[in-house]
Chains A and B, each alone.
Chain A
C-alpha cells in the first residue's frame, strides 16, 4: 500500500488505455507516455499494461506502507527514497515506512520530459472498469474513484507474480530513439481528411516552423501557438470519430492536438494525426516548450510503430537475461 503525502493537480492512475468502449462515447484515456509506463512495468515483472501513477505536477510524495518494489520512469524528477537518490528508469526496493519524493523535472536534462510514472510491483490495484484501470475524468470512473489523486489517498499494489530485479536500469527511449529537427523535439504526422483544405503557405509553415505548447494544454489536448493556419474556405463538418493524436483546427487557425483524454468524436477540421508511435514524445513535451512536425506516410508510420515495439521487446529481453543470470 502507498499513501499520497502530497501531490499537485492531476496525478492519476493510468494503464495503457480503455479500448472497445468508443461506441458508448467513452474515450481511451491511458498513459500520456505509454512507453515509460510499459517499460516500468517490465522492469518490475508486471504485465506491460499494469496500472501506474502518472505524475505531471511536482513535488509529489508517497509513503510505502509495506515493502514494495518500484520503478520511476518518464521524466528525470530527482527521485529520492528517504534521502537516498534513485536513478531514473531503474527498479528499486522500498521498505515499509520509507518516503518517495519526486521533484520538478531537471532543467537542461539530457532528455526534456514533463511526466513521471510511479510503477509498483504487481501494478496499482484499482478495479478495472470497462476493461481498464485508467482514470476517465469526464466520466468520473476508472482509476481511484474516477478522479485525480489527493493528499491522504491510499493505493494498493496487486500481487507481484515475479521477483522484481532491483537495480536493473534502462536507457530511456528519448535517448535510444531520438527524433529532433533543428534541435527541437519532433513528432511525425500523417495528413488527415481536411489537409488539402488549407493554403499551401499554411501547410508549408506547419512543417517548417516550430509550434509552442501553450499553457492551455493538458491530458485532453495540447493547444499550440504558431502562425495561424488558413483554410481555403470555411469548412462545415459533421461529428465523426477521432483518436488521440488528431490535430484539429478550430476557426481561429491555432491547432489543437488531441491527447489521451480526448473526446472520441469531434467536428473540427483535421489537418493530420500525430502517429501512434510518436504520441509518447508529445505526451512528454513540457508546456511552454516548442516542437516540430514532420510529414510522414503510411509505410514510415508503420515502421515507426515497429521500432517502438522492438524497443519494448529489447527491454523484455534484457530483463529476461538478468533474471537468468541472477538465477
Chain B
C-alpha cells in the first residue's frame, strides 16, 4: 500500500502498469481514480484502464518503448484531475446472516467481541459504494464498511464458498458472484445473479452503483 505523499507507478511485466494513489482509502480518491481511468483509456498505448481500490491498472495495447512519457502523463493527469462523482443505482440484497450460509460469523464475534446482532446491525447499516470490479466475473469491491467489524482474512483459505456468500476480509466486505475459493470470513448469504455474459454490460453492477444489505433473517 502506498503510504507516501505522492502517487507511485510500478510495472506488471510488459503487459500492464499499476498506478497507486497515496493516503487512506477514501471515496473522493476513488472518484479521482474513476476520472483518471476515463482519461487514460483515451491514450493510444492503453488497452484497458481498470480501477482497483484507490489504484488503477493500465493494460497495454502494446508496451511503450520507454515508460517515462507514460509515467509523466499519469502524474500530470493525477495532479489536476477532478473527482468523477458517478451516481449509479442502488441494489438491495436480502441477506440471511449466520447459520449454514454464514459459517464464519462466530469468528467475527470472537475477533471483534461484538454480539451477532451488533455485527449484523453494523454490517447492514451503510450504503456501500462499488469502488471497482475484480477477483472474478461480476465481483464488486465495496467501500465504507464499519471498521469495528473488520476481521483479518482467514489463515487457511476456504476451498469453495458459494456464489452469494457475504463476507468480510480485513476492512472490506463483499459478495461472491460465483462459487470459488476465498480467504474471507463468510457471515451470510444472498441470492443475486451478478454476472451474465449474454447481457450488455455483463456485470450487474459498475463503479458508482451501491449495495444495501437488507436483513432478511438472523440465525443465531
Contacts and interface: CB of A to CB of B under 8 A. Distances in A.
Given A238-B53, A245-B13, A263 B65 contact: no
Minimum-distance CB pairs A-B, first 10: A241-B57, A265-B134, A273-B13, A193-B10, A240-B52, A139-B137, A238-B53, A24-B203, A25-B133, A141-B197
A141 to B, nearest CB: 5
A302 interface: yes
Interface stretch (B86-94, B116-124, B172-180, B212-220): B172-180
Given A23-B50, A23-B133, A238-B53, A246 B59 contact: no
Given A239-B134, A277-B14, A301-B14, 17 more contacts: A19-B47, A20-B47, A23-B50, A23-B133, A24-B137, A25-B133, A191-B11, A192-B12, A238-B25, A241-B12, A241-B18, A241-B52, A243-B12, A243-B59, A273-B11, A275-B13, A275-B14
A225 B1 CA distance: 26
A305 B63 CA distance: 10
B18 to A, nearest CB: 6
B207 to A, nearest CB: 9
A305 B64 CA distance: 12
Interface of B: 1, 8, 10-16, 18, 20, 25, 47-48, 50-57, 59, 63, 65-67, 132-139, 141, 172, 177-178, 180, 195, 197, 201-203
Contacts of A236: 1
The interface residues of chain A, by DSSP majority, are classed as loop
A302 B66 CA distance: 10
A121 interface: no
Given A19-B47, A22-B50, A25-B134, A302 B14 contact: yes
A302 B65 contact: yes
A239 B52 contact: yes
Given A22-B50, A136-B137, A140-B178, A238 B59 contact: no
25 contacts: A19-B47, A19-B48, A22-B134, A24-B195, A25-B136, A25-B138, A26-B137, A27-B136, A141-B197, A192-B10, A236-B1, A238-B20, A239-B134, A239-B135, A240-B20, A240-B57, A241-B134, A264-B134, A265-B132, A273-B11, A273-B12, A275-B13, A276-B14, A298-B67, A302-B65
A31 interface: no
Contacts of B57: 22, 240-243
A194 to B, nearest CB: 8
Contacts of B50: 22-23, 241, 264-265
Interface string A163-185: 00000000000000000000000
Nearest to B10: A193
B187 to A, nearest CB: 19
Contacts of A20: 47-48
Contact of B48 (A23, A246, A276): A23
Contacts of A240: 18, 20, 52-53, 55, 57
A22 B16 CA distance: 12
B142 to A, nearest CB: 11
B138 to A, nearest CB: 6
Contacts of A139: 136-138, 178, 195, 197
Nearest to A247: B13
A301 B203 CA distance: 34
A277 B63 CA distance: 12
A94 to B, nearest CB: 33
A195 B10 CA distance: 10
Given A140-B178, A192-B12, A22 B138 contact: no
B12 A246 contact: yes
Contacts of B54: 238
Contacts of A277: 14
Interface string A237-267: 1111111111000000000000000011100
A242 B138 CA distance: 16
A180 to B, nearest CB: 21
B67 to A, nearest CB: 6
A302 B180 CA distance: 35
Contacts of A229: none
A135 to B, nearest CB: 12
A190 B195 contact: no
Contacts of B197: 129-130, 139, 141-142
Given A22-B57, A25-B177, A190 B11 contact: yes
Given A139-B197, A240-B57, A190 B13 contact: yes
A22 B15 CA distance: 13
